[in-house]
């Protein structure tokens, strides 16, 4: 792969002229706006006076910083407006009237009650892209159900195909529907912005945790269509490829094999010094190995037990589909992360260096640096309201009335 070292990558991100009014909270929404912020958009994160709930999630660092918040809130400006106050709602409308995008992830109907729904804001700004992330979508019998990642994984079929026969169904360890929904919503926003270049008008973008979970079942659904059989619980194994699961090494580490072709099977037998695997008719084709799954797995496990994880990695990596099962501390120290620019680093006062997951996608034309670190609730309220034409006297009056809030000891006069 060509190294991405072109100096043109230092130019600003492609969304540098895009303004996003971000009404989201918790996980999927903040991830979506962070993706757009990484691409250069100006994210105006609107929070209630007490801050959004994510500020209290996860492990808390000195100074009260939440690990969840630090992971999902870079490259944003922090504006605190009480949307329950009629004057606060009018301020949000003012911001939305000149914005390119509004993002929200409340239950369907929430923003309609406050006059901040798509139809209300589109009347003020026909070019507006309005992106919603819900639990189950805007329509259907589950529309009003409350959902978070574990619920979406369960109702969306992911839990039902994950786990072992002995232990039963299991949730995927990562919050996949939150993270993927956020990135899909960001993709939807960028697509709608591109479409706006052609049409001159905005539109609504609708994503949901449930839709994301179902979307992850793409190949499984087609299989079920023809078999009408529920996929079995196979743990780390694969239904149509054998061997494709985790095996235990001599030093009790776990390594994953996925030998999908007969050529790779013969190559594995050769590299492992196990000619009996290639000679046994039960194992020579994938269809035969699937038919004799138990015998195949037992034979492979016997071979894998003869070497350590390091020895297998040196022997098999790059030769067949193989990888060690890395625990989190091993992954976090792995050089492959930096080689692919997967770590976003920044300094936080009172915390020190923060390392969070950066963009999984790299570009040859630009980088995605941390331009702004997470900040206190309302840290940028004054700056943003000034930019939208409010005078210092007007801002101070709004602060005094409790309509907007700033970081402690932060007023328009002192800003």
Report pLDDT digits (tens) over 82-100: 999 999 999 999 999 999 9
Residue 2, pLDDT > 50, answer: no
| CATH ID of 244-324, from 3.30.70.3270, 3.30.70.20, 3.40.605.10, 3.30.1540.10 | 3.30.1540.10
Mean pLDDT is lowest, of 22-26, 221-225, 233-237, 242-246, for 221-225
pLDDT in tens, 65-79: 888 999 999 999 999
Q: What is the pLDDT of residue 189?
A: 99
Which of 224-233, 296-305, 380-389 is the least confident region? 224-233
CB 126 within 8 A of CB 199: no
pTM score, two decimals?
A: 0.93
pLDDT at 186 over 80: yes
Domain spanning 19-216+343-405, CATH class? alpha beta
For the chain, percent of residues with pLDDT exceeding 70: 95
Contacts of 331 (CB under 8 A, 6+ apart): 337
Q: For residue 167, what are the CA distances in angstroms to 158, 164, 238? A: 15, 5, 17
Segment 98-121 shows an average pLDDT of 97
Among residues 221, 300, 226, the alpha carbon closest in space to that of 256 is found at: 300
The residues that bridge with 320 in the sheet, in sequence order, are 317
In angstroms, the CA 324 to CA 312 distance is 9
222 alpha-carbon distance from chain centroid: 25
**Domain ranges in the chain?**
19-216+343-405, 244-324
Residue with tokens 């930019």: 387
Catalytic residue numbers, as ranges: 178
- Can you tell me the distance from the alpha carbon of 194 to that of 202, in angstroms, rounded to the nearest whole number? 10
Least confident of 24-33, 48-57, 234-243, 274-283: 48-57
Residue 124 pLDDT > 90: yes
């Amino acid at each position: 792969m060509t190294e991405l070292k072109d100096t043109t990558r230092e130019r600003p991100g492609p969304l540098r002229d895009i303004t996003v009014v971000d009404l989201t909270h918790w996980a999927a929404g903040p991830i979506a706006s962070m993706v757009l912020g990484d691409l250069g958009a100006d994210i105006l994160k609107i929070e209630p006076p007490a801050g959004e709930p994510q500020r209290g999630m996860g492990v808390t660092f000195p100074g009260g910083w939440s690990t969840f918040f630090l992971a999902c809130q870079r490259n944003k400006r922090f504006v605190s407006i009480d949307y329950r106050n009629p004057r606060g709602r009018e301020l949000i409308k003012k911001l939305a009237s000149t914005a390119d995008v509004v993002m929200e992830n409340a239950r369907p109907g929430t923003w309609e009650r406050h006059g901040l729904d798509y139809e209300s804001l589109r009347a003020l700004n026909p070019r507006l892209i309005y992106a919603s992330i819900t639990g189950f979508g805007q329509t259907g019998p589950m529309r009003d159900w409350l959902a978070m990642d574990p619920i979406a994984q369960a109702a969306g079929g992911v839990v039902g195909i994950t786990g072992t026969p002995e232990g039963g169904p299991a949730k995927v360890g990562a919050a996949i529907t939150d993270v993927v929904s956020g990135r899909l919503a960001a993709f939807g926003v960028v697509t709608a912005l591109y479409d706006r270049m052609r049409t001159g008008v905005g539109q609504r973008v609708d994503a949901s945790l449930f839709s994301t979970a179902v979307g992850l079942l793409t190949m499984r659904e087609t299989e079920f269509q023809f078999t009408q059989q529920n996929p079995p619980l196979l743990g780390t194994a694969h239904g149509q490829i054998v061997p494709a699961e985790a095996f235990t090494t001599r030093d009790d580490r776990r390594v994953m094999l996925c030998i999908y072709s007969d050529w790779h099977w013969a190559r594995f037998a050769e590299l492992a010094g196990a000619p009996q695997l290639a000679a046994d008719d039960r194992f020579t084709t994938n269809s035969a190995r699937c038919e004799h799954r138990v015998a195949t797995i037992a034979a492979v496990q016997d071979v894998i037990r003869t070497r350590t994880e390091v020895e297998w990695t040196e022997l098999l990596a790059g030769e067949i589909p193989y990888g060690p099962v890395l625990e989190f501390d091993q992954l976090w120290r792995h050089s492959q992360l930096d080689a692919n620019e997967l770590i976003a680093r920044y300094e936080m006062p009172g915390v020190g260096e923060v390392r969070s997951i950066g963009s999984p996608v790299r570009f040859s034309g630009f980088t995605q640096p941390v331009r702004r670190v997470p900040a206190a609730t309302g840290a940028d309220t004054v700056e943003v309201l000034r930019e939208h034409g409010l005078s210092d006297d007007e801002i101070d009056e709004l602060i005094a009335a409790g309509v907007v809030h700033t970081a402690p000891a932060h007023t328009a006069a002192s800003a």
